[in-house]
Amino acid sequence: MKLSQRQEQIAHIVREEGPVTGDAIAKYLDVTRSALRSDLSVLTMLGVLDARPNVGYYYVGLSTETQVSETLNSFTVQDVLSQAVVVTPETSLYDTIVTLFTEDVGTILVCEDSYLLGVVSRKDLLRASMGQNNSNTMPISMIMTPVSKVIFVEPADTLVEAAQKMIDYEVDCLPVVIIEAEAKKKRYKVVGRVSKTTVTKTYLECSIQLGIFNER
């Protein structure tokens, strides 16, 4: 949760002047005490401030978990995306399976001239290959999930939004696309991908940087 400008001002006042009463904080900001009630409640709930009866507010600081959350919220998909693993719609089922294991990924994007046509997952390939004698000739376009049903993110989306989409739709990877509108038709230019591994790696790096594991 990102602090508002006034909440940051309150935290600064308490850090510099604390312990300080709510009335004193209101006087510093030239507002009424009641106007600060919700802000003080939020700061106390987040652990930024602590309150003691008849004494006032003390500055505690953001908890490490809150700092990790704030840091993750600052990342956009553009900051962490990786190169997409792509095949063309004419690529055979067999060659797509080889690509999947060679690149060690769980999802492959089907593109033509960098524009997204569909996706295939490890599960799709397993299902399609069972009992198939023509995997060398079957084009991957026959089994892909078409672009109209593909869940994607854009570069400016936050990493948290991408993670939430992966959870909501139960997918391991999302294409990162730039939407182009041409003659009332949308096209989706692929610029990368973001995966659950990306989210986990970023969270781990933030946690290590902020010392969360050293505190436990």
Residue 66 binned pLDDT confidence (cut-offs 50, 70, 90):
low
What domains sit in the chain, N to C, each tagged with a CATH number?
5-62 (1.10.10.10), 77-203 (3.10.580.10)
pLDDT for 213: 52
> Are the CB atoms for 151 and 169 separated by under 8 Å?
yes
> Residue 209 pLDDT > 80, yes or no?
no
pLDDT for 139: 95
Tokens for 117? 């046509």
pLDDT for 60: 81
pLDDT for 69: 65
pLDDT digits (tens, 9 = 90+) for 152-184: 999 999 988 998 899 899 899 999 999 998 777
- Angle at CA 116, nearest 5°, toward 162 and 118? 85
CA separation for the pair 42, 128 (Å, rounded): 52
**Which H helix or E strand runs over 200?**
helix 196-210
Residue 81 binned pLDDT confidence (cut-offs 50, 70, 90):
very high
pLDDT for 51: 87
Kindly write down the DSSP assignment for every residue of 22-67, as one continuous string: HHHHHHHHTS-TGGGHHHHHHHHHTTSEEEETTTEEEE----HHHH
CA separation for the pair 89, 92 (Å, rounded): 8
CA separation for the pair 84, 76 (Å, rounded): 17
pLDDT digits (tens, 9 = 90+) for 25-59: 999 999 998 888 888 888 887 778 888 888 899 88
